[in-house]
Amino acid sequence: AQSVTQLGSHVSVSEGALVLLRCNYSSSVPPYLFWYVQYPNQGLQLLLKYTSAATLVKGINGFEAEFKKSETSFHLTKPSAHMSDAAEYFCAVSQYGNKLVFGAGTILRVKS
């Protein structure tokens, strides 16, 4: 069975600082991994996904994530936070049947 753990339900950074959101997964099959972002009162939007082509994945809005099989991790980073990055971020792993298993989410706060 697949599962996802996101460390830290809330993360606060200053504008211009590094953003690091942590995601660890467990999977009985080769994983496909996703990061989604949810802005207030909106649906989820794909940031990036890992589908085994490359371990370093670049997404929208300057975000990237690195797949590390040995650490079963897929952490999300951005070198410099912007106020518009304030949102909730979800990591997810895909099961057979393309069903997604989500982590609990991390709310990112950006301080000016």
Partner 1 sequence: NAGVTQTPKFRVLKTGQSMTLLCAQDMNHEYMYWYRQDPGMGLRLIHYSVGEGTTAKGEVPDGYNVSRLKKQNFLLGLESAAPSQTSVYFCASSRPTRQETQYFGPGTRLLVL
In contact, 15 and 34? CB cutoff 8 Å: no
Distance CA 40, CA 64 (A): 22
Q: Tell me how far, at minimum, the Cβ of 38 lies from partner 1, in Å.
A: 8
| Interaction site with partner 1 (CB under 8 A) | 4, 9, 32, 34, 36, 41-46, 49, 51-52, 90, 94-100, 102-105
Distance CA 36, CA 86 (A): 13
Instruction: For residue 71, give the 3-state DSSP assignment.
Output: coil
Of the pair 18, 104, the CB lying nearest partner 1 is at 104
Of the pair 4, 87, the CB lying nearest partner 1 is at 4
Of the pair 12, 14, the CB lying nearest partner 1 is at 12
Q: Tell me how far, at minimum, the Cβ of 18 lies from partner 1, in Å.
A: 24
Distance CA 42, CA 45 (A): 9
Q: Tell me how far, at minimum, the Cβ of 21 lies from partner 1, in Å.
A: 14
Distance CA 101, CA 86 (A): 23
